[in-house]
Structures are given as C-alpha cells and as structure tokens.
Structure 1
Amino acid sequence: MADLTFEDFKNRISIKTVLEDAGYHFYRKDGLRYPSFVRLDNEGRKIRGDKFIVTANGLCCFHPPERKNYTVISFIQEHPDMFPEYTPGMNKNRLVNLVCNRLLGHIPEREQVVIRNAVPQQKFEEENFEFVKYNTEAWETRKRFYPYFKDRCIDLKTQAAFADHFVLSCMKREDGKRYYNLAFPFRIPGKEDKIVGLEERGRPGIDGKTYKGKATGTNSVEGIWIANLSGKPLDQAEKVYWFESAYDAMAFHQLQREKGKDNKGVYLSTGGNPSHKQFEGIIKACPKAVHYLGFDRDNAGKMYACNFALLKSGREFSSYSMPGGTTVFVDKTGGYGRQEFQPNEVTFENVCRRFGLNDPQIKYNPASKNVKDWNDELKAYIKQEAEESVTQAEDETRSRSFRR
C-alpha cells in the first residue's frame, strides 16, 4: 500500500490515534463531548498544562489556551520530537509519511533501520499492571466483573467460555491507589505467550457512559485480542471470527449458542480500526480457516471488510472516504484502477464484484440491518425474548381464567 497522499492519511487516521501515539492519554474526567488527551508523569498523574482537546468534528485538536487547530498532518509536522521516526534535520513531509504509514501498518523494510535507531517509543510493560483473573468457581471474584457485562447482556455462560481471555487490570501506582478496568489482552499471532497491550473498558458511571481505550504503549499495529475457542492450534483452526471489539465477539458467541448454532472457533478483536499487520498476522497464523468478517454495519466497518478481502487477495491498494460520503478504493496491482462508490453502493458484494474478488475463505458476516453491531443485536434479541415470555405468560393466565 504505497504512495498514499496526505489526504489519504487525514481520511484514514484519527487525530486521537496520533495523540495516543505521541504519548497522550484520554482523560475521561473532562467528559466525552470534547475529548481531552493529557500526558502522565511516572506515577500516572496528569501533567498540568500539557493537554490537547479534540474539536467537535473529531478531525483536529488544539492546545488550550491557544485555539490553533492541528490536523493529523500539521500535528506531526509541528511536534516532530514526539515520534520515534524523527531525527534532527529530517524533512517534515517525510516524517509524516513514515509515522502515518506505521500507524496504518505499512512499514517499508528499508525504513525499519531508521525506526530502530530513533528515540525509543514507550512500550507496554506487563509488569506495570496488576491483573485479577476471572474465576468461574469463586462467586466473590465473579461479582467484581458483573458491572462490566450487565449492560451488555453478556451472561455467565458466555463469561465462563471466555474466562481465560479477559481480566480486571490496573496500572500500579506508588500512592497505592487502584483503578480497575475490564481488559482484553493483545497478543501477536505466533507469539501468544506475551501480552503486548490491553483493550480496556471501564465500569459504567452514573451517567451511563463508560471508558473505552487501550493501555499505555499497546501495540495495536501487530497485536490483536485472540480467544481461541476452537479446541485446535491456530494453524489448524477452521473458523475465524473478526470483530472491532471483544464485547461484539462475546455477544456473537452467545447468540450462536442461544440459537443452537455452532460457536466454536477463533474469536478476534482488533480494538477498533484494524491494521494490515493484524490482518496479515492472522491470515498467516490460520492458513486453513474461513474468515467471518463481523465488523460493524456502518461505512467504516464495510471498508474494513473490503480491505481484508483486497489484502488477502494480494492486492496493493488504498481506500478512503471523501466528503459527501463517497468511498474510494484504488487498486495499484490488478489493473482495476480507481473505483468510486456512492454511499448506497458501498457494500462488500459490490466492491468484490468490481475488483474480481471471490475467495471462498472469506464470509461477510455483519449484524442485522436494523442494528450497528453484534452487541446491539444481542440486546435486541434478549429484549424480544423477554417480551415474548411476558406475552406467553399473559396468554396462559387468560386461558386459565377462561377455563374457570
């Protein structure tokens, strides 16, 4: 995926991703309407005055009290020391290309030496965290996990099925305070013995909102959440289920069980926008598997599914959304060139047809049309089941009354 433009980078990379890569952390105490990102000291405390606020459109950020807006491009250009690729005197446009391609998972081999010799990037260190494992035999331990799954309608059977693949985690602090999140460990396919980051979810607050993010230094370019419930090694797995969050993966598993369908397989969460390294790592690790793409049913989720199909076919391509909703895919290897899709044309089937893709190992598997993702589908299913149970109970009561 070479020759991406600055416009491609702005369309495909969130300013939040760039801020996190530069060492900033989402500061949920400031609320979600205008997300703020701060730096933390060695004890995990906010550094006063070092804050960026994301603008209402989500495309830029600014450093209060200044009102100058930074895009993905201008932030990197004007804060070069925050990125490991930078060396003194480097051309800033070249720096933008290196950083953005890394964030997208496209690191040319010839650039890797530059990155290794640059200023070290903060890495995830497992020893900096404390973990509480889910114990299916200890009710007191299971109660601690209850608030994280209650509103998601994920039941105890599903929690037990995934018990080895989530924990409660907190970063160690010298002052002894402990703040826990539900965490789904990220691992690199082929190197599953080591945790390289965490997809984090917070306990619901009084306002119903919850924290969503990744632990400091999480390698979300190569790392991915892997819950292998197939009963087989990865290289022998027959089914791989892809999702943007671990909650969606668990919800899909539960729905399959409720409907009496097979739910054995390898469950994955990319933790948001999937990188090409995540795709490539699993494709290599599970060569025999059929891939079920359960990404969200919005435009971004459709693009992720199409990107997976193009990458698995060996295409060199770029894809991005334009103002107005037009989606563009550019094939640089197969002779199909630039293909534009209007909002009502962006479907997995349409993109595959235009690019001549027909891989029996890929199945597009989003949630139903009336919901966004698989967790919403689980909630809708449980609500419907509850309503039908009430109706059935009322019918039985009326029937007994009539017989009397």
Structure 2
Amino acid sequence: MTDYKVNFKDLKAKVGIDDVAYALGYRLDRKAGVGRYMELVLGDGKEKRDALVICHPQDKASQRFFRRDGSKGDVVTLIRENLNAFNVSGKDEWQKIAKVLSRFANMPEPEYREDREYVQSVRYHATFDSSRYEVKPINPDKIPAIFQQRGLSDETVRTFAPFIRLIRDRKNENFDGYNIGFPYTNGENDKVRGYEMRGYGGYKSKAAGSDSSSSAWVADLSGGYPNVVKSVFFCESAFDVMAFYQWNRKQLTNEIALVSLGGTFSDGQIRQVLNRFPGARPFDCFDNDLPGRIYGLRMMALVENIPLKINRTRDSLEVEANGRSFRLDPERPFQVQVKEHLSVRYDMGQWLPPKAFKDWNDCLLNKPMEVRLHPTKQDQINNLAERRNAGPKL
C-alpha cells in the first residue's frame, strides 16, 4: 500500500496565512487597516514579538506575507517556522507540514506507514475505554497557552476548569504529550463516556469510542443543583461555549448550564441534556453557517415535539412537518419562516453570534466571515448580455 500523496497546491488554496497565524496567537492590527494588505501582530505593545504583513487577504491561494526585516514567504513558510507548535509526527518536516495543512483544510490527514498501527487502533474501538487515557486536572496557575490563542481569558478558563481535563493517549506512540479534554457525560451519573479533544495547530478530535449519541460536554455552573438551572446554552464546540460565556458574562447568572455537542448533533444528546435540567429553557447558540442553522432548526423541532424532515436542495431547504411541505430561504431566519407554517410555542430561545461571525469563538477573536456580495437583478441581466455577445462574430 502506497503512502497518501499530498497536493500542496490544493491545500494551500484552502488554508490562509491568516488561519495559521490566528491559531498561533497573532491578532489583527486594526490601526494598519484592512484592504489590499492586512497586518497581524504577535504580542502587544512593548511585548510585540512579531508582525506579518499579508497581501491578498481575501484570496487564500494568493496570500503571501513579508516582515519589516525583509523576510517573506507563504503559508508553508509560516508553518515551517512554527512546526514545533503543532504537535504532529512524521519522518521529515514535509510530512509534518502536510498534516498541519490537512488539519486546517478540514481534510483527512495523510496516513503514513508509521502512523497506521495507531490509526487502526483508533478506528476499531467501538466503545470508550477510559483506561486508555492518562488524565489530570487543569492547573489554574499554569493554564495552557492554547486557551489564550483562542482569545479565552485566564478567568474564563478558571471558571470552566472543573469541567476540563488534560489527557494523554497511552496508545498514541507518535505524540506523547497532553491535549485538552472536555469530558462527555449523559447525566445518569458522573461516568465519563468520552472526550472532545483540542490541541495546538488546530487539532480537534474525539477520544476513541466517545459516545456522541447520548452524551455531551456539560458545564453546570449552578454548583451541582440541576433543578435551579433556568437556561441551557447549546454550542457546537467547547471553545464556542467558553467564548459565548466570556462575551456575554455580564448578562449571565450562575443558574445556567452550557453544552457542547462536539461538532455533531444527535437527538439523544439534546434529550439527555434536557432531562438533566427539567426546568430549564434551551437556547440555540449554534453557528451562523447553514449546518449551524439546521442544528437550530432540529433542536427547535425536538423541543416543540414536531416530527421534522429536512432535505437540502441547491438553493433552499425543503421541510416536511405535520403533513405540510414548504421551502426555507437560507437568506432569512429559519425559525421565523417555520412559524409562518407551523404552530410554535416559543419554548426554545436563540442567542446567536453576531451576523458578521461564523461562531462565538470567531466573534471573540474578531475574525469575521468573508463577505460574499450577491449580484443584483441588473447585474444578472448585464452578465447575461455580455455572455450572449461573447460568441463568434459572423
């Protein structure tokens, strides 16, 4: 079996210098402005350790950077300079760079021969084995830098520290360090049924055999009194949960629980959490992208006890519910459109990220989504006329 070949050109088209820089802790220098160029800095004030000037910030495939000292490069250059920060294995630096690029591009990591035994050991574990992982608590006086890189303050980390662990996979012979582990429970008892895992360099995964069908990461800030919890906030990741809390802290009480589904959505996860907090109102805090809005729609259907079937089409969603069929326009809030067709009791709340941001962590990092301009009707007419006139002249 040959090794998986990596197309660096394709990967570079999907991973921007800014993506890697943000993960390394760089921040946008707003004083420099954003246009044909953008400047990212590492550190603040007198402690500024580096500054990257990035050209073509809106086009990942064309991005290049330079420094005031004359050094320059592309996304591969930046990864090579910081390779030790990403905790990847490989025979040489090119194998390691390929893995880092794949992670940022949300593509399968290249599987080299020395990794396969470990990959197979992960793949075929159907149930979670807690003895596989060495676990220790977060030291509040020595908080891992990854939290700061995600914009999370020490105060926020200390608030969530009782619900976070450092975990090391004893069967991973290629990485002997610790990742951040967010333990999964299902509310029936305190038994850990898996982990949402995060590490440096954009690494994200779940512990082998984690129960994603009925368990989730739950941070109950009530002090262990589920009956007093009034609100439960659902996010797609643990970092989004913590960012949501930090951004909205002044508006929140301690009579809350915050939940990460770990990038998945199952009816059992939602039901188990709601059973755990019977008097609480659930809130949709999922992402602003289409998958996130579908999560919100599915949770509303569960809360309202409405059997719902959703089919994605090219430019809309087709919904079947209570014997009715209707389409949803992705450009309008789904819940508003559903209420035009179905009777809804308003049992579920919404607390979405600001529209300019994909998720709560991007909001905290001040990392807005790319703006896509939709053509006007006149633009479409002009474009069609140009295409018609572009044919051969007789």
Alpha-carbon distance in 2 for matches of 1:271, 1:245: 5
Per the alignment, in what secondary structure is the counterpart of residue 46 of structure 1?
helix
Alpha-carbon distance in 2 for matches of 1:263, 1:353: 35
Q: CA deviation at 1:46?
A: 1.6
Q: Is the 8 A contact 1:352 1:358 kept in 2?
A: no
**1:310 maps to 2:381:** no
Q: CA deviation at 1:135?
A: 2.4
Q: CA deviation at 1:249?
A: 0.8
**1:325 maps to 2:311:** no
Match of 2:279 in 1: 288
Q: CA deviation at 1:39?
A: 8.8
Match of 1:186 in 2: 184
Match of 2:62 in 1: none
Q: Is the 8 A contact 2:184 2:215 kept in 1?
A: yes
Residue-pair matches, total: 267
Structure 2 unaligned spans of 5+: 1-97, 368-394
Alpha-carbon distance in 2 for matches of 1:49, 1:313: 41
Taking only the aligned residue pairs, the percentage that are identical comes to 24
Q: CA deviation at 1:355?
A: 1.9
TM-score computed with the length of structure 2 as normaliser: 0.61
Q: CA deviation at 1:372?
A: 1.0
Match of 1:132 in 2: 136
Distance 1:200 1:281, change over 3 A: same
Q: CA deviation at 1:166?
A: 1.0
Backbone CA RMSD of aligned residues: 2.9
Q: Is the 8 A contact 2:230 2:255 kept in 1?
A: no
Pick from 134, 155, 170: which aligns with 1:172?
170
TM-score computed with the length of structure 1 as normaliser: 0.60
Alpha-carbon distance in 2 for matches of 1:305, 1:176: 38
Alpha-carbon distance in 2 for matches of 1:49, 1:176: 11
Q: Is the 8 A contact 1:244 1:273 kept in 2?
A: yes
**1:341 maps to 2:328:** yes
**1:227 maps to 2:232:** no
Equivalent residues in 2 for 1:52-63, closer than 5 Å: none
Structure 1 unaligned spans of 5+: 1-26, 51-81, 83-119, 205-209, 382-404
Q: CA deviation at 1:318?
A: 1.5
Q: CA deviation at 1:45?
A: 4.5
Match of 2:126 in 1: 122
Alpha-carbon distance in 1 for matches of 2:352, 2:244: 10
**1:242 maps to 2:234:** yes
Alpha-carbon distance in 1 for matches of 2:329, 2:183: 37
Pick from 116, 140, 151: which aligns with 1:46?
116
Per the alignment, in what secondary structure is the counterpart of residue 191 of structure 2?
coil
Q: CA deviation at 1:354?
A: 1.9
Deviation per CA, 1:295-320: give whole Å up to 9, x if none: 00111111111111111222222213
Per the alignment, in what secondary structure is the counterpart of residue 126 of structure 2?
coil
Q: Is the 8 A contact 2:228 2:255 kept in 1?
A: no
Q: Is the 8 A contact 2:230 2:281 kept in 1?
A: yes
Q: CA deviation at 1:330?
A: 1.4
**1:267 maps to 2:262:** no
Match of 1:17 in 2: none
Match of 1:157 in 2: 155
Alpha-carbon distance in 1 for matches of 2:153, 2:107: 31
Per the alignment, in what secondary structure is the counterpart of residue 187 of structure 1?
coil
Pick from 369, 379, 401: which aligns with 2:355?
369
Alpha-carbon distance in 1 for matches of 2:173, 2:138: 26
